[in-house]
Amino acid sequence: MTRNDQVSDQDRLPSDIESDELVGAVKGLFDQYHTMSVAAATSPLDPWIAKVFFVDDEPSPGKMDICCAMINTSRKLAMMRESLRVAFVVAGDHPDRWAQGTGDVEIVEDDADADAIMKRLEAKSPIAGPFLRMVPWTAVRVHVDRLKYSPLPDPPPAKGLALFVTATRAKVLPVMLAPVAVGGALAWSQPAIHGFVGFVQRTGFFSWGWFVVTMVGAAAMHLASNVVNDYFDEDSGADAAARSDPSGVATGTGLIASGVLSKRATLRLAAALFAVALACGIALAIARGPLVLLLGGVGFLLAFFYVAPPIRYGYIGRGLGEIGIFISFGYLPLVGSYYVQRLDITPDAAWASFVPGMLTTLVLFHHHFLHWRADASAGKMTPVAVLGPDRALNISIATIIVAYGLLIGQTIAGLWPPGAVVAVVAAVPLVAAVRRARRDPILPNYLQLLGATLGASVLTSAVLVVSLIVRVIVRGGPCSIDLPC
């Protein structure tokens, strides 16, 4: 059957069973959106379209009514009163599913009925109530007499490596591994100290093998944290709220909700990744010192209880989530990577973690803008959900200024080579994205803001690593298995 055949088949009058199935499918679509477009006209030459808040009713099995709110001064409402007919369409920004139809208009005159519609609109959309209280409006009920649902075929479920990449959100790994690379480069660039730390001998060489083990362990820890986050956000309803919010975008994988991965399979995947991280940690602890296990253990607790009960400190908000991310995906990876090579945590290493850590944290912070209303409705009180996007962008600007100001200060103080100041260039598109999001607070601008933050975080860390490598080369050669410092 062709695509045109499918659509034509939906245009015919359905049987009672088909009507029940059609209404059920459309109601599932309607639950995801707060607004719809309605078209009214008094003649073929005079059509008008409006976007309105709506809720649906099912007065009897296989039948559908749509209740919406029209501004009293709207020309579309005047046309509805005259023609008593409308057409409507409900669809998102991505044309994967949409519903359209026509119906007879009933102007709701009963105040109790209108109040009940208002309460349902407020319950469905967090922005409907505040908007409608600012303007005079009239409740309208559309008795649907023609309905068509047009879903595009679902893409085949991911399998194998593609499923793993989706389930773990592995595409963001460069952001999380950047602090590990900076910590290793910092250790590599500094003169070696020979002798013993406990029972472990400082050899004066940079160990590429243990650096790789560190990267693998850090990657496994981060991927496991992503899977755990997906599991508990789905369990709490935060991801479901994001999927039903037309003003935002769901950033969870949706694999549990779609049935591609069961909850048990998701937990097994997280456990397997945590096991890999633990194995790397044990190997590093035996070879390089037991402090590795302490650092890894703190990172595990912070990553796991970010969304896991009973603590769920990412839901408590008030900046606790951002502090946890700074420590677990900024400070700990950098100083841990440094410690594996140097067998020590120096003030330089701790101080060096601030710039990569702040930018990694800013990635998470800007991630909240994509679904802040849904977070608030699910009780996930991120700073953006608490402050609102406009005030939260003040934190963005302050963080950018502090991070890159600190980088310049650290470079002047000698922590970074002079070439590290080139990384400040990464702040230019980031600041531009913040200004664009403040000027026009719409979803595409928030997506661009997140992309700019990801790019700035990786680019800044890359410049720091390259500047350290150049300093070693200028000094006469890298510390390696073949060439002692």
Q: What is the pLDDT of residues 366-424, one digit of tens each?
A: 999 998 888 888 888 999 999 999 999 999 999 999 999 999 999 999 999 999 999 99
Phi-psi region of 259 (alpha: psi -120 to 50; beta: other; left: phi over 0): left
Q: Is 364 exposed, middle or buried (0-12, 13-18, 19+ CB in 10 A)?
A: buried
Is the residue at 483 inside a domain?
Answer: no
Same domain, residue pair 186 and 131: no
Residue 484 reports pLDDT greater than 80? no
Is the residue at 430 inside a domain?
Answer: yes
Cis-peptide, bond into residue 155, ω within 30° of zero: no
Is the residue at 112 inside a domain?
Answer: yes
Same domain, residue pair 46 and 79: yes
Q: Percent helix, strand and coil across the chain, each rounded to 5? A: 60, 15, 25
Q: Is 158 exposed, middle or buried (0-12, 13-18, 19+ CB in 10 A)?
A: middle
pLDDT tens, residue by residue, 74-107: 888 999 999 999 999 988 655 567 889 999 999 9
Q: Would you say the pTM of this structure is higher than 0.85?
A: no
d(CA 51, CA 180): 49
Provide mean pLDDT across the span 311-315.
Answer: 89
Residue recorded with tokens 């809720």: 55
CA angle, corner 482, sides to 205 and 295, nearest 5? Answer: 25
State the pLDDT at residue 267.
95
Residue 17 reports pLDDT greater than 70? no
Residue 480 reports pLDDT greater than 50? no
Residue 126 reports pLDDT greater than 80? no
Contact predicate 218/177, CB 8 Å: yes
d(CA 78, CA 56): 22
State the pLDDT at residue 5.
38
Is the residue at 78 inside a domain?
Answer: yes
Q: Dihedral (C-alpha) 335, 336, 337, 338: value to the nearest 10 degrees?
A: 50
pLDDT tens, residue by residue, 213-260: 999 999 999 999 999 999 998 888 887 777 766 567 778 888 888 788
Same domain, residue pair 217 and 249: yes
Provide mean pLDDT across the span 123-145.
Answer: 86
State the pLDDT at residue 15.
45
Same domain, residue pair 440 and 416: yes
CA 165 to chain centre: 16
Domain that holds residue 171: 160-475
Q: CATH no. for residue 130?
A: 2.30.110.10
Beta strands of 288-436 (E only): which ranges? none
Contact predicate 223/173, CB 8 Å: yes
Q: Which residue has the higher pLDDT, 58 or 368?
A: 368
Long-range contacts formed by 404-411: CB under 8 A, 24+ apart = 404/355, 406/354, 406/355, 406/358, 407/355, 407/460, 410/351, 410/352, 410/355
Contact predicate 147/23, CB 8 Å: yes
Please give the span between the terminal C-alpha atoms of the chain, in angstroms, as a whole number.
71
Is the residue at 481 inside a domain?
Answer: no
Is the residue at 432 inside a domain?
Answer: yes
Same domain, residue pair 118 and 189: no
Contact predicate 333/182, CB 8 Å: no
Domain edge (last residue) among 151, 168, 185: 151
Same domain, residue pair 217 and 242: yes
Same domain, residue pair 196 and 332: yes
d(CA 133, CA 118): 10
CA-wise closest residue to 464 among 307, 301, 338:
338
| Total domains present in the chain | 2
Same domain, residue pair 99 and 211: no
Domain edge (last residue) among 85, 117, 151: 151
Residue 362 reports pLDDT greater than 80? yes
Contact predicate 383/395, CB 8 Å: yes
d(CA 273, CA 292): 18
Q: Which strand (E) or helix (H) includes residue 53?
A: strand 47-57
Provide mean pLDDT across the span 14-27.
Answer: 63
Same domain, residue pair 116 and 228: no
Same domain, residue pair 167 and 96: no
pLDDT category at 483 given cuts 50, 70, 90 is very low
Q: Which residue has the higher pLDDT, 62 or 389?
A: 389
Residue 341 reports pLDDT greater than 60? yes
Is the residue at 480 inside a domain?
Answer: no
Same domain, residue pair 147 and 194: no
CA 219 to chain centre: 19
Same domain, residue pair 145 and 171: no
Is the residue at 439 inside a domain?
Answer: yes
Domain edge (last residue) among 100, 123, 151: 151
Provide mean pLDDT across the span 9-35.
Answer: 64
Report helix, strand or coil for 143.
Answer: strand
